[in-house]
Each structure stands twice: as C-alpha cells, then as structure tokens.
Structure 1
Amino acid sequence: MIKSYFRLLDDFEFPQTSKDIRKIYDDITQGEIDSQELPDGEIFRKETTYIFMKKSGSGKVVHQGITPESEIISLTERLLNFINNDSDIPNLIKVAVSHYYFGYIHPFYDGNGRTSRFISSMYLSKDLGNISTLSLSRGCNKYKTKYLEAFEISNSIRSRGEMNSFIETFLEIIIEALKQMNTELKEKSLLLNMALKKLDDEPKLQGLTKNHKDIMFVLAQNHFFDSSSGLTVSDLAEMFEKSAVTIRKIVKELLDFSLVEQEGERPAYFCIRHKYFEE
C-alpha cells in the first residue's frame, strides 16, 4: 500500500474503466486480503456482501452491497463517468460524492475503504497537489468514528441518500488533516534548518570533504524523522551512488571524530551521536 501511495507523488493515470479499478485494488491490497475474501467474479465480487453498524457495535446491517456483478460494473462505470467528465460540479464535491458512492456500491468483499481512499486521493491531487492528497487516508484514520458515522447517516432510511452531511464531513476531515500536516511540516522544516546550521558550524567537519557533511545531514534526517536505529553502509552507498568501500571509509572517519555512533554488527547501523543536537 505504501509503495502504491508513492505513485501519487509522480505521474499517474486516472481510472477510466472498471478494470482499472480492479487493477488499483490488486495493487494496494496485494497479500493483505484473506483468500476467501478475494473477488470471485469477472472483475468484482459475485455474491452479496453486507456493511454492519460500526458505531454501536450492535452488528446491525446498515447496508447491502449492490448485486449482481453486472450491476456493480454498470454503476462503477457510471461513477467513473461522473468523476471524469462532469465539469459542472466542483472537483472536491465530485470526489466527496464519488467516495460515498463507491462505498455504497461496495464492489469488493474486503478492501473497499482503502481502495476508495486511494482513488479519492488521486482525484484530490487536481486541487490540493500530490503531497497534500496523502492527508486523506491519514485523516480518515484519525477521525475514524466521524468518518464511519458519515456513511451511516447517509445510508439511513431517514436520510434517503441525502449527501450534504457526508460532503461536509468528508471535506472537514481533509481540512483538519491538512492543518495538522502543515504544522508538522513547519516543525520538521525548523529541525532541518537547525541541523544544517549545526553541521555548518561543526569544527570537526571543516577539514573534511563535502561527502562527510552530506552523510551527516542524511543521518540527521534519519535521527529526526525515522524510528529506525540508523543506516547501514549499504543504505548510504545506494543513496549516494558510491561504492561501499568509499562510504565505509567516510563513516570510519566520522566515527573517529565521535560524530556518529555504531549500533550492532552484521549489519552495523550508523547514526548521529544521540546527544549531538542537544549540545
């Protein structure tokens, strides 16, 4: 799934047919769906599936996915025609409506939510840009109760499919996720600038090469933004497109200057000295 989301940062093609939807589903759920829950129709599922009430935990059925498969295909094609071609409706509204409609069709036994969120993220890129679209899945996870309630409200008999409530909730979740993303990016930008200044002023680096400083900066990013214990020589060699011998020599010199630390062996992981940025 993570690899699939990386595609949103590059060029991609919007789905045009039901088979395109199935391909997206296969890509982002590969190896994550139980074999008995995989699609068993020509493109989608061929049997009935049910959506249960999540808020109360009562197990009450709140919606039955569309059947038969021929109708699933027909409604999915209608959805794609709507989101790809209807220019009279603002794109953000089309994405919200389509997101609900995909859940209403429920073309798969399992994996509908993650597939719908990925597809919606693709179309949100038109207005929000590629990086900001990554906030949708995160926002839906953070505000999961609110997100699921929005579906249940629109699915209820009383609402009769009225969409305003769902559209408002969907857009509110995106806005809140974007606000949090903006705050975190500002914080991370400050950390990177602080790291750069610290390395620029580091006297031990003055007599060394640019490669030494560049590796220190990469290790600084690993220190601030990655929960791992460091990077291996192989990792650094791949990043800098240099031989392992060259990287190992540079890392040894940084170790000798007590700028980095080693953790473990075979493989050995290297990281910035833990208290370096606190001094």
Structure 2
Amino acid sequence: MINKYPSLKGIYYSNPDCYEEELSNRLNNFSTRFSKLKIHPFNVKAKRRIKEKTYEIFYVPTAEIDLLKEQIFYNSKEISKQMTNLPSVANDQLFFNTLIFELQSTNDIEGIRSSKKEIGEAVDNVINKSLQEDKRFEGLVKQYLKLNNGRFNSINKVEEFREIWNELVGDEEKDEMPDGDLFRRAPEEIIDGDKTIHEGDENEKEIINDLQSLLEEMNGHYLPSIEKCFIAHYFYEYIHPFYDGNGRTGRFIACSYLARKLDILTAVSLSSTIAENKDYYYKPFMEMSNVYNHGDATFFITRMMNILLKGQQNILRRINEGLQLLKKAENIIEELNLPAQESEILFLLFQEYIFGSYAPKIPDEGLAKIIGITRYKLNKSLDNLKEQLLIETIKQNPMVHVLSKELRDKVAQLQ
C-alpha cells in the first residue's frame, strides 16, 4: 500500500511543530525536482499576492506519481492499439465524438453555453470546408483538429501565446480583447461567488517575463514530460495573461503537449474529465497558491495524473462497449441476408451510429469513396435499403442517410 503524500498546508494546520522540518526535508531532498518557475503565494483574506514571498515550484517524485505515470503510458499504448484495430469509420467517429464532448466541456467549465449539436455542426463545417461567417466555435474546432493531423503548436516565442488565443477564442471574445501590446494591461482577479480566489500577474510586463520563464520550462529538458506539462498548466493559469479565455487556451496548450507524448484520445479528453471532476481539479489549484504550501506541486501533479487516468479509463470503456455493440450489429446484418454491397453500407452506418452519436454524419458521397463504388451503384443500394425500411434520409444537400429508427432502436436495446 502506498502512503499518501500529505500537503505542506495540511501539515501546517494539523501538526505545526513539524512544519519547518518537513519543509526543509522536501526542499533539500536529493530526489526533489525544481522547475525554475517562481510564484508569489496568494492571501485570500487580503485578496492579494504576497509579493514579499517568492517560491520556486517543485515536486517530490513519489511512488504514487511513478505508478500513475506507468499506468498512464500503459493505457495510452492500449488505446492506440484499440484505435488501430477499429474499423476506419468507427475510428474517425470515435475521435470526432470525443472532440465534441471535449469542446463542450472546455466551454462549460468557463460558463459558456454550447450544445453538442452546435459544436458538431462546427466540426462538420470545418471538415467540409463550408465555414460560416461569425459561426461560433469554428476557431476552437480548427485548432483541435490540427492535433489529430499531427500539427502541434510549437511555442518558441511569447507572441505565440497571443496567436493561440486569437485562433482559439478571439472570435468569441471580441469584447474582452487584450488592451496591451499582446496581453492584458490591467490587473485581473478571479472571483468565486463573492470571494477573490486568485490574482493574475499585475501588468503586461510581469506577464511577458513570466511567460518567457514558462517557455524556457516547456522547452527545457530538466523535468519529465507529464510532470512538466502539469506544472506548466498551473503556471499559465497563475499568470492569467488575458481577461478571458485563459482556461480554454491553457487546457488547449496542455492538450497539445499531451498529444505529442500520448495518444490523441487521451489528450482530447482532458477537459471533459476535468468537467466531471471540477472540485477535484480546483482544490489543488487553490492549494498551490497557499502561503504554507511553499510552491510544492506534488499534490497538484498527482491530482492531474489521476484526472488523466480517469479519462483514459472512460475511453477504454467506450471502445470496449462500442466493439461489443458492433459485433452484435454484424449479427443483425447477417440475419438480414442482404447483398454484400448493401451489407457493407449498413455496417458503415452502424459504426457511425455506435461510435459517433454527436459526430458529423457521413454524406453519400463519402460512403461511395469509402466503399470504392460509383454514386450510381451506391444510390441503387441505398434505394433498396430504403425500400426495406433499413435506412432513412436526413439531409438532401448534400444527401445523407442514417440507420432507420427501427435499427437504431435495436442497437439501443442491446446496450
């Protein structure tokens, strides 16, 4: 059994006589890792940073962190293997569905109302290059879709943080545009109810200096990748470089980094898992800035790794449940005793339905390309399937077909 790592703040309040000794032990431990990132603790009662105190963020590589990291990398390999084994349509639909949940969640965390249907339409528009003027969330979708194509945001200059903000949320936050050369000029407080819980960097000069330090940490090689990612995530939110959009840009940057080290689905499920565990996520944020925590990120890293692990477990469960349903769908198709081409069309539509409930539907033109037949042959098969009430038309331009309600109900009964 692994001994739980107590927070320094917890030790200060539960056993104050041991606090200084424990702090010294952690700061001088041979295995302790320092980030080179420095913070001022926050005084909640005074509603201000304690500028007289400066702490370097550090963490202790505990046995729990080691085991969590091992499980995360193992799960990531398993997810990659399962994705490789999925049929192509199921693979794509699973990614799009995960992305839609992720984008709705990153909005929800910030109190921005959005529906899965609305985000699904934005994904469809971006994929089919039918972008709409002033259409919400298309900038957000474009940036996340780049990750699936292996196009990661490489951040080497402070100006690139502003570029990410522009591309990701600039269209949504026209009323909250930064008033400095790149970032906000005025102080910014984070308020929970009627209580100020955090204060970002005081001015643009501080923001730029801290973001430069963050760049050096992100691009340095003195910390392990996952731990570095989560420390960077905390520090970005600590800086709070914009008036709004900090949470969404911060989670996107973390997601982009994780996508380089792990599988894409693990990366693109960070916000949705955070949304399901908000209190679990925010508690270590608050603890990090406590004066008695002294910059110890061990608790924060452990919590973030647990969140990542929960997201992976959800993904593996969804894949497993989807594969079981797909196997049963194959039995349904076999019992229908259809011609091979019509069976193939139904199998594609079952994949779409099982793995992509909110994902964009495949137009008929896309079905023809996947199967490798002409539209004439496809239309003939579609007409036969419609006559048997196995599929139905949901859109005319472009033409889109889905499983009939009867078949959808059959799948629902199998769940």
TM-score, normalization by structure 1: 0.84
Deviation at 1:76, TM superposition (A): 0.8
- Superposition pairs of residues 1-279 of structure 1, within 5 angstroms: 1-13=140-152, 14-33=154-173, 35-53=174-192, 57=193, 59-85=194-220, 87-206=221-340, 209=341, 212-227=342-357, 231=361, 235-241=363-369, 247-262=378-393, 270-276=401-407, 278=410
Report the AA paired with residue 225 of structure 1: F
What percent identity do the matched residue pairs reach?
Answer: 27
Cα displacement (A) at 1:139 = 1.3
- Output the CA distance in 2 between the equivalents of 1:95 and 1:228: 30
Aligned partners of 1:98 and 1:264: how far apart in 2? 45
Q: Distance in 2 between matches of 1:37 and 1:275?
A: 48
Q: Distance in 1 between matches of 2:211 and 2:359?
A: 45
Q: Alpha-carbon deviations, 1:172-195, whole Å to 9, x = none?
A: 111111111111111112222332
Deviations 1:37-65 (A, max 9, x none): 12222211111111123xxx3x2112211
Structure number with higher relative contact order (C-alpha < 8 Å, ≥ 6 residues apart): 2
User: What is the CA-CA distance between 1:264 and the residue it aligns to?
Assistant: 7.7
SS for the counterpart of 1:41 is coil
Paired residue type of 1:29 = V
My pick for the range that moved more, 217-226 or 184-193, is 217-226
**C-alpha separation in 2, matches of 1:199 and 1:220:** 10
1:192-233 Cα shifts (integer Å, max 9, x gaps): 233234334531234xx3xx333222321233234469958x
- 8 A contact 1:223–1:230 mirrored in 2: no
Secondary structure in structure 1 of the residue aligned to 2:264: coil
SS where residue 269 of structure 2 aligns? helix
Shift in CA distance, 157/30, structure 1 to aligned 2, threshold 3 Å: same
Q: CA RMSD in A?
A: 2.7
Secondary structure, counterpart of 1:204 in structure 2 = coil
Question: Matched residue of 1:191: which SS?
Answer: helix
Q: Secondary structure at the match of 2:401?
A: strand
- Deviating more after overlay: 152-161 vs 17-26: 152-161
- 8 Å Cα contact 2:177/2:243 also seen in 1: yes
Give ranges in structure 1 of 5+ residues lacking alignment: none
Is residue 93–residue 167 contact of structure 1 (8 Å, CA) maintained in 2?
A: yes
8 Å contact 2:266–2:311 — kept in the other structure?
A: no
Give 1:75 shift. 1.1
Distance in 1 separating the partners of 2:176 and 2:343: 51
Distance change (3 Å), C-alpha of 1:243 and 1:112 = farther
| Larger mean Cα displacement after TM superposition, 99-108 or 215-224 | 215-224
How far the C-alpha of 1:106 sits from its partner, in A, is 0.4
Aligned-partner Cα distance in 1 for 2:367–2:400: 15
CA contact (8 A) 2:265 2:315 kept: no
**Secondary structure of 1:45's match?**
coil
- Structure 1 CA distance for aligned equivalents of residues 258 and 324 of structure 2: 28
Count how many residue pairs are aligned between Structure 1 and Structure 2: 267
Deviates more, 1:10-19 or 1:235-244: 235-244
SS in 2 for 1:25: helix
| Aligned CA distance change for structure 1 residues 32 and 247 (closer, same or farther; 3 Å) | farther
Q: Is the 8 A contact 1:66 1:107 kept in 2?
A: yes
Alpha-carbon distance in 2 for matches of 1:193, 1:73: 54
